[in-house]
Amino acid sequence: MQYFGEILSVGVAISWTATALFAEVGSKRLGSLQLNVIRMSLSLLFLGITLWWFTGSPLPIYADGPTWFWLSLSGFVGYVLGDYCLFNAYVLIGSRFGQLFMTLAPIAAAFSGWLILGEKLSIQAIAGMLVTLSGIALSVLSRGTSHKFGLKLPLKGVLFGISAGMGQGVGLVLSKVGMNYYALSIPEGMLEASQMLPFASTFIRAITGTLGFLAVMWYTRKFASLSLSVRDSKGMKAALGATLFGPFIGVSFSLMAVQYTEAGIASTLMALTPIFILWPSRMLFKNKITLKEVFGAIISVIGVSLFFI
């Protein structure tokens, strides 16, 4: 189908919009750590069933040692570090600002690609970084009575947002390395295994995410709170929505999208989430959205597009 990758990419942006909204509700009701444990566990179940249905095995067959290493490292950086910060940002500054900070992911991906893969940083990419940062600054800074600029958001929430965007970008580059190893390890003629590579890769990342969040929960002695969380019906519905639209549909389809269209086009279209989320955030959470924040989101997305045009 023509433009299949582009359609998938827009679908991913919509999926991540739904994920952010569900995650904001779930994080506030269940707690960010509890929600992540539930979400990762459910995603393993969904992904395992999907792999079993199409390949005959619930596990990612043919994945070799380097594949497991790089995808597990990606899961730790992207899920355990990145999503932990992102979900805490949802609690402190809301999903629309949390998603705005996710436009920092291409900046982190560019720098980590330069360090890990030896990719070049073009002048256009640097310009994209500056434009993206300008859009974020326009949205989160306000002028005080003394004509000095200051944050209109809690500093802790902003730091969580920045860390989330950086974790997402670095995790994406590590995923790319892992998927390259995975593609090489699949024997020729195994069409089903090749087609399910994005889901199998997400499964490996989700294993690390689940184990990582369980380790954090054990270290912080919050296992008792998990049993209370699963009894919250509204919170569990939000967790189910965040799982379906996040690590199951969103992440898997994002990896699939780059197989059917250029990575730059896919990344730009998937970066539309900060714009898509404005209207539902206003309707669901009654958030006041200023014209400056709208312009800031648009400018940030334009900055992302400069990385790939």
**The pLDDT of residue 264:** 63
Can you tell me which residue has the tokens 């929505």?
A: 241
**The pLDDT of residue 143:** 60
**The pLDDT of residue 21:** 94
DSSP 103: G
Q: How big is the CA angle at 67 (ends 65 and 73), to the nearest 5 degrees?
A: 100
Interval 134-149: pLDDT, tens = 988 888 876 654 455 5
pTM: 0.85
H or E element in which residue 174 lies: helix 155-185
**Structure confidence at residue 188 as a pLDDT band (50, 70, 90):** confident
